[in-house]
């Protein structure tokens, strides 16, 4: 749970800062962290507006429904019980496509839209639904066709074929995504009562 993780991270930072004699840097980080987040939000905010606008046109123009129809088998497999061409699935697919193409700035706003759509069907707004967990885990696993940022950096460091790592990247990201998604679905099977038990074990 975020309430616990957050407190533990802060406390760990202060304790290890004291142990390493770096308390001053920790304090500075505390004072500057908010500003950093605002800067990031402003950068991200521009992308969110632009992609939010474009995706709305794509949605109204029927493009996302068309895409969702072609991807129905995949969505049935990953999100059973979710309407394959519904608003939630369309947002999820657009997020996955943006991630796949390496458009990180587009993927985040689309992902948040998907979470909003999933939230509408969630009976308990405080608690993550099974679909939400699968979706978030799919995002943390990151399946990317072309790692452009890393490739650009490698090119700068004199690698003549910066994409020579591609097969390893694909295999690794698919492997980690399969493990994460399978686990998210497996742990979701247990009924609600034991679901509460899992919360404690997971944190």
Partner 1 sequence: MNTAKLLSVWTVPAFLVLVLVAGKARRVPVFDEFTAGAGDGLRTCVKVLPALVALMTAVSMLRASGLMEMLSSAVEPVSRFLGFPSEVVPLALLRPVSGSGSLAMLENIYASFGADSLIGRIASVLQSSTETTFYTIAVYYGSIGVKKTRHTLISSSCGDLTGIILSALTVRLLLY
Footprint (CB under 8 A) of partner 1, residues 79-118: 101-103, 108-109, 111-113, 115-116, 118
How far apart are CB 101 and partner 1 at their closest, in Å? 5
Instruction: Kindly report the number of other CB atoms within 10 A of residue 161's CB atom.
Output: 10
How far apart are CB 43 and partner 1 at their closest, in Å? 10
C-beta of residue 65 within 8 angstroms of C-beta of residue 90: yes
Q: What CA–CA distance (Å, rounded) separates 144 from 136? A: 15
- 185 closest CA partner among 84, 109, 76, 68: 76
**Binding status of residue 146 toward partner 1 by CB under 8 A:** yes
| Token representation of residue 118 | 């999933």
**Binding status of residue 20 toward partner 1 by CB under 8 A:** yes
Rounded to whole angstroms, what are the CA distances from 175 to 47, 82, 130, 168? 30, 24, 21, 10
Interface region with partner 1, contact rule CB under 8 A, candidates 20-28, 72-80, 85-93: 20-28
**Binding status of residue 51 toward partner 1 by CB under 8 A:** yes
**Binding status of residue 60 toward partner 1 by CB under 8 A:** yes
How far apart are CB 86 and partner 1 at their closest, in Å? 17
């Amino acid at each position: 749970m975020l309430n616990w993780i957050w407190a533990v991270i802060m406390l760990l930072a202060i304790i290890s800062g004291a142990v390493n004699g770096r308390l001053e840097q920790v304090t500075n980080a505390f004072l500057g962290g908010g500003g950093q987040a605002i800067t990031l939000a402003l950068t991200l905010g521009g992308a969110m507006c632009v992609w939010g606008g474009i995706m709305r046109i794509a949605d109204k123009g029927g493009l996302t429904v068309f895409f969702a129809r072609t991807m129905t088998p995949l969505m049935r497999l990953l999100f059973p019980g979710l309407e394959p061409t519904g608003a939630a699935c369309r947002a999820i697919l657009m997020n996955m496509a943006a991630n796949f193409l390496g458009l990180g700035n587009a993927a985040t706003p689309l992902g948040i839209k998907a979470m909003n759509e999933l939230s509408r069907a969630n009976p308990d707004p405080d608690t993550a639904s099974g679909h939400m967990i699968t979706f978030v885990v799919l995002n943390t696993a990151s399946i990317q066709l072309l790692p452009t940022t890393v490739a650009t950096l490698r090119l700068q460091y004199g690698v003549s074929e910066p994409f020579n790592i591609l097969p390893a990247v694909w295999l690794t990201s698919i492997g980690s995504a399969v493990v994460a998604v399978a686990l998210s679905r497996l742990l979701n099977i247990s009924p609600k009562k034991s679901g509460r038990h899992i919360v404690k074990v997971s944190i």
